[in-house]
Amino acid sequence: MTKNKKLLAWVAEVEKMCTPDRVVWCDGSKAEYDRLMAEMVASGAAIKLNEEKRPNSFAFNSDPSDVARVENRTYIASVNKEDAGPTNNWIDPVELKKTMTELYAGCMKGRTMYVIPFSMGPIGSPIAKNAIEITDSPYVVCNMHIMTRVSTEVLRLIEKTDEFIPCLHSVGAPLEPGQKDVRWPCAPLEKKYIAHFTDENLIWSYGSGYGGNALLGKKCLALRIASNMARKEGWMAEHMLILRFTNPEGKQFHIAAAFPSACGKTNLAMLQSTVPGWKVETIGDDIAWMKPGPDGRLYAINPEAGFFGVAPGTAAYSNPMALAACAKDAIFTNVVVTPDLDVWWEDMGVKCEGGTDWKNNPWTPDMKDAEGKKIKGAHPNSRFTARAANCPVICPDWEDPAGVPIDIFVFGGKRTAVMPLVHEAFNFEHGVYMGATASSEATAASLDQAALRFDPFAMTPFIGYHAGDYLQHWFDMGDLLGDKAPRCFYVNWFRKTDDGKWLWPGFGENSRVLKWMCDRVEGKVGARETAIGLMPREGDLTLEGLNIPAADWAELMKVDKELFKSTLADAEKYLAAFGDKLPVRMKEQLEALKKRLG
């Protein structure tokens, strides 16, 4: 336990409100993890997988009403409504606390209240933060063991600093005496709340046991609360992967990249380089916390200790390293469990004769619904929770408390036309514009005529304050870093021909584009100036061994000014929603691009 009076008082307050049958302080040990998993297997909540095929791994099936983040039940409860901005659901904090306090009253009856001390980032790192999650879900405790650093060392640090971020979670399903528990307890949708009290750095979550709704270290703390803390304290909390790219001479480059969903973020984080002599190592696949170091450069840590990855589509051809990371010591949620007690999901690249589906019902691949559509065995948002240490390409320095120095920022989106394969910003301020206007097509379209979905820095659901102030913070960080700011690039792996064929092979071949970026940082190659930014000169981006016809390459790198004007108009319309909080420098970048496009 602890001697910290503030922490003890908070735990006592929650215990009085939620009335659990007992309170357990977690220590993060293997014995604790094994005990909780054994209890969940015995109760029927967990399925123990085949020890030979999938050592120390377990599968869970959630309630069909509790399968993903619930954005419409996720709130920013700042004192001033204006601080939440146009990208967040705002609720008055006094009103929300009243509503949630009523829900929390007696909500843990019949259950155990777990107190989880955890660190986001290597314990004791100057970039890390200490936190406590209180939960009544053993599933959450086990996932937090993998996703964060759960340790009594965190309690000792809290005793020294008297600082921690309080996170309260309940599945919202009290048990009466003698009442049998269900496999996946949760509350109905209208009673689910994921609340961020940003003025207090406080998180309250009620009613959901799934993913980021319940693992409060993930999006709630690592992005929504942390982004607001970072703005006040002069650092950055971003929805970015971090990788190390090392050239044949041993020179290391560190890259942080932000992509909206379905744009290959995890694949890039664990890339298998096809450039001879160049090697990729993973530091993080989802979140980067970055702080200026003593030398004035920006240093990044991965605040997480594991991967919470989407299972469908993860295969040997797309991401063998992610597949290897969940070969043991993993938790699977809402996948197919095969008769020999292994796991399977759609687009895994292996054959499956059947098993039990994500609803725990018998399933075979040929099953169809009433409309004749194939019934999927795994839920589209089914997940694996895997230890980062089990990834074969994890970087040896991924837990360095000092972090790694970021050389390059990469932004991107999914565009089948208009956006070229790669271009570089003229300067950091132009790079902020590129990241702020990152967009993907809302629907599949061969000529990019679909509506665009803008997602600044892939942070739309995760900015814990006004998005206009968030963009200003990016400019402020650029001012702080000066000539030591990372170089900024924009990529688009998804360009197609008019008849729908991919123009770029993607996957491991994306390393060729990263090499060009590193060569630019080192001054080894030049660039040609275009209206939208700096682009590779003929021959500077190596295509040796690729079968890309000259016409396709020309299309991949084409900048059609007229089509860009329509994208610019869409961006201007989108940014208008930020009102008078839109930074002046964003307006200046818009005007400068207009002039360059003519």
Q: Considering 234, 268, 289, which residue would you say is the last residue of a domain?
A: 234
Note whether residue 294 is domain-resident.
Answer: yes
Which of 272, 305, 303, 273 has the alpha carbon at shortest distance from 287?
A: 303
Question: Could you report the per-residue pLDDT of 483-494, keeping only the tens digit for each?
Answer: 999 999 999 999
Q: Are residues 457 and 586 in the same domain?
A: yes
Q: Are residues 175 and 291 in the same domain?
A: no
Q: How far is Cα 108 from Cα 371, in angstroms, rounded to an integer?
A: 42
Note whether residue 257 is domain-resident.
Answer: yes
User: Which CATH number fits the domain that encloses residue 536?
Assistant: 3.90.228.20
DSSP classification of residue 219: I
Note whether residue 379 is domain-resident.
Answer: no
Our count of domains for the chain comes to 2
Q: Are residues 479 and 577 in the same domain?
A: yes
Q: Are residues 95 and 181 in the same domain?
A: yes
User: Which CATH number fits the domain that encloses residue 172?
Assistant: 3.40.449.10
pLDDT exceeds cutoff 90 at 199: yes
Question: Could you report the per-residue pLDDT of 342-374, keeping only the tens digit for each?
Answer: 999 999 999 999 999 999 999 999 999 999 999
């209180």: which residue's tokens?
A: 134
pLDDT of 451 reads: 78
pLDDT exceeds cutoff 90 at 460: yes
pLDDT of 446 reads: 34
Q: How far is Cα 416 from Cα 422, in angstroms, rounded to an integer?
A: 14
Note whether residue 382 is domain-resident.
Answer: no
pLDDT exceeds cutoff 70 at 195: yes
pLDDT of 470 reads: 98
pLDDT exceeds cutoff 50 at 448: no
Mean pLDDT of 117-139: 98
User: Distance from first CA to last CA of the chain, Å, rounded?
Assistant: 66
Q: Are residues 289 and 431 in the same domain?
A: yes
Mean pLDDT of 22-34: 98
Note whether residue 505 is domain-resident.
Answer: yes
DSSP classification of residue 225: I
Q: Are residues 214 and 270 in the same domain?
A: no
Q: Considering 170, 200, 234, which residue would you say is the last residue of a domain?
A: 234
pLDDT exceeds cutoff 70 at 417: yes
**β-strand partners of 74:** 194
Q: Are residues 18 and 163 in the same domain?
A: yes
Q: Considering 187, 214, 234, which residue would you say is the last residue of a domain?
A: 234
pLDDT of 60 reads: 98
Confidence of residue 47 (pLDDT cuts 50, 70, 90): very high
pLDDT of 261 reads: 81
Options 263, 326, 391, 518, the catalytic residue: 263
Number of H helices, E strands in the chain: 15, 31
pLDDT of 444 reads: 42
Count of alpha carbons within 13 Å of 358, Cβ hemisphere only?
A: 24
Question: Could you report the per-residue pLDDT of 241-278, keeping only the tens digit for each?
Answer: 999 999 999 999 999 999 988 788 999 999 999 999 99
Active site (annotated) includes residue 167 = no
Mean pLDDT of 291-296: 98
Q: Are residues 245 and 300 in the same domain?
A: yes
Note whether residue 68 is domain-resident.
Answer: no
Assess contact for 418 and 563: CB atoms under 8 A.
yes
pLDDT exceeds cutoff 60 at 447: no
Q: Are residues 554 and 441 in the same domain?
A: yes
Q: Are residues 290 and 413 in the same domain?
A: yes
Q: Are residues 291 and 425 in the same domain?
A: yes
**Is residue 64 classed exposed, middle or buried when 0-12, 13-18 and 19+ CB atoms within 10 A define those classes?**
exposed
pLDDT exceeds cutoff 50 at 449: no
Question: Could you report the per-residue pLDDT of 529-549, keeping only the tens digit for each?
Answer: 999 999 999 999 999 999 999
pLDDT of 212 reads: 96
The pLDDT > 70 percentage for the chain reads: 99
CA-to-CA separations, 380 to 47, 186, 361, in angstroms, rounded: 20, 20, 16
**Is residue 369 classed exposed, middle or buried when 0-12, 13-18 and 19+ CB atoms within 10 A define those classes?**
exposed
Supply the mean pLDDT for the chain.
96
Confidence of residue 85 (pLDDT cuts 50, 70, 90): very high
Note whether residue 268 is domain-resident.
Answer: yes
Q: Are residues 172 and 298 in the same domain?
A: no
Domain membership of residue 296 as a residue range: 238-306+398-597
Question: Could you report the per-residue pLDDT of 378-398, keeping only the tens digit for each?
Answer: 999 999 999 999 999 999 999
DSSP classification of residue 536: P
Note whether residue 586 is domain-resident.
Answer: yes
